[in-house]
Amino acid sequence: MKEYSAFDILGPVMIGPSSSHTAGAARLGKIASEIAGTGFYKVVFYLHGSFAKTYKGHGTNKALVAGILGLDPSDEKLRDSFDIAKSKNIKVEFIEADLGYQHPNSVKIVFKYHDKEDFYVMGSSIGGGSIIINNINGVQVEFTGAYPTIILKYPDRKGVISVISSILANAEINIATMRVTREGNIATMICELDSQITDDVIKEISNFKDLAYIRFINTRRS
């Protein structure tokens, strides 16, 4: 049986009106932008299902924009996120879309850059402010952002899993979950951890050769 904290029941402290359509949307935006990386000049949100139907009344649009600007779901600046985006010269666009067989509260967030190709992240808000990220640039993934997370893409070869796990073990970081998938010869590893990722670990893993993509997400659900 899942254990709850008193602050799961009396919480989260959040900007209303809906934990799934507002707080969850802000978290989706925030984690997506951490995965994509900064420097984007425009973000397009493809809203699916209930997100598409009710996003204006729930402030889902404002929450998503607040998220990509790095604001937390409890930040009262959330409702002014459009103005903040404007002042930072970041354009936003909302498109109602059918993303296929997805949870009803899903969004595909496309980040546009001047100097590199588009980057997209897809995720769902699954209730109570919790989320799942399920696609990064076409690669199926599944993680919640509730834990510090390492995302790696690399040409598949022997021994990577054991090297990563020993780097983490040496730093006394426990692995909560580890998933590795492969498309073609490119492997994607998602590793959720029980404690924050230290600078030394980031440095050591970044030294790996042939990494196609690497991201460290230290946000923890407060």
Partner 1 sequence: MFNKGSELINLCNEKQAKIFEIVIEKEQKTSGLSYDEVIKKMKETLEVMKSSATSALNKEIVSVSGLTGGNSKRVQDYKNNHKTISGEFINSAMAKALSTSEVNASMGKICASPTAGASGIVPSALLAAQEKLNVDDDMLVNALFTAAGIGEIVAKNATVAGAEGGCQAECGVAAAMAAGAITEMAGGTPSQALTAASFALINIMGLVCDPIAGLVEYPCNLRNASGVINALISADLALAEVQSLIPFDEVVEAMYKVGKSLPESLRETAQGGIADTPTGRKLSDEVIK
Interaction site with partner 1 (CB under 8 A): 1-19, 22-23, 50, 53-54, 56-59, 62, 74, 76, 78-79, 127-129
- What does the block give as tokens for 166? 């020993």
Q: How far is the CB of 125 from partner 1 (least distance, A)?
A: 12
C-beta closer to partner 1: residue 17 or 37 = 17
C-beta closer to partner 1: residue 73 or 123 = 73
Q: How far is the CB of 156 from partner 1 (least distance, A)?
A: 38
C-beta closer to partner 1: residue 81 or 149 = 81
Q: How far is the CB of 95 from partner 1 (least distance, A)?
A: 16
Q: How far is the CB of 121 from partner 1 (least distance, A)?
A: 24
Q: How far is the CB of 127 from partner 1 (least distance, A)?
A: 6
Cβ distance 160 to 46 under 8 Å? no
- The CB-side HSE value for 171 (13 A sphere, CA atoms) comes to 21
Tally of CB atoms within 10 A around 66? 28
Sheet holding 175-183: strands in order across?
175-183, 186-193, 149-155, 213-217
Which residues are CB-contacts of 121 (< 8 A; sequence separation ≥ 6)?
31, 32, 35, 36, 108, 109, 111, 133, 135, 136, 137
- What does the block give as tokens for 173? 């970081």
C-beta closer to partner 1: residue 3 or 199 = 3
C-beta closer to partner 1: residue 10 or 209 = 10
